[in-house]
């Protein structure tokens, strides 16, 4: 298994808006080869910190998704989001391989 985390800090007054965007996400990643699950996490100690967690069968599946036209299309739409403060947020991306479960 392979897990990718994208961590973002969102202004407090926009947290619910961002959560809503992810609740209504396109779900195209759900059809990607090797995809297992998607979760949007909110920190219990810092509500402005949101983490997208995606689980994959293999690292190669994750890399294929990141290089796919669907990934590029979705992220191009994010860059054009009307709220440019949100569009400008850059995530911290962390990647992990599962070594025990």
Does the CA dihedral 35-66-40-56 come out positive or negative?
Answer: positive
pLDDT at 53: 98
**Domain segments of the chain as ranges:** 2-97
Distance CA 46, CA 24 (A): 23
d(CA 99, CA 67): 25
Say if domain 2-97 classifies as CATH 3.30.420.40: no
pLDDT of 77 > 90? The answer is no
Instruction: Sort 55 into a burial class: Cβ within 10 Å, 0-12 / 13-18 / 19+.
Output: middle
- pTM given for the model: 0.87
CA–CA gap between residue 8 and residue 91 (Å, rounded): 5
Q: What is the per-residue pLDDT across 37-66, written as a single tens digit (0 to 9) for each?
A: 999 999 999 999 999 999 999 999 999 999
């Amino acid at each position: 298994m392979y897990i990718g985390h994208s961590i973002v800090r969102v202004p407090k007054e926009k947290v619910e808006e961002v959560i809503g965007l992810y609740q209504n996400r396109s779900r195209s990643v759900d059809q990607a080869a090797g995809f297992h699950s998607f979760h949007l996490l909110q920190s219990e100690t810092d509500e402005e910190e949101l983490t997208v967690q995606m689980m994959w069968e293999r690292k190669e599946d994750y890399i294929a998704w990141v290089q796919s036209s669907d990934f590029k299309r979705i992220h191009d739409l994010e860059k054009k989001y009307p709220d440019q403060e949100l569009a400008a947020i850059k995530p911290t991306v962390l990647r992990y391989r599962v070594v025990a479960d």
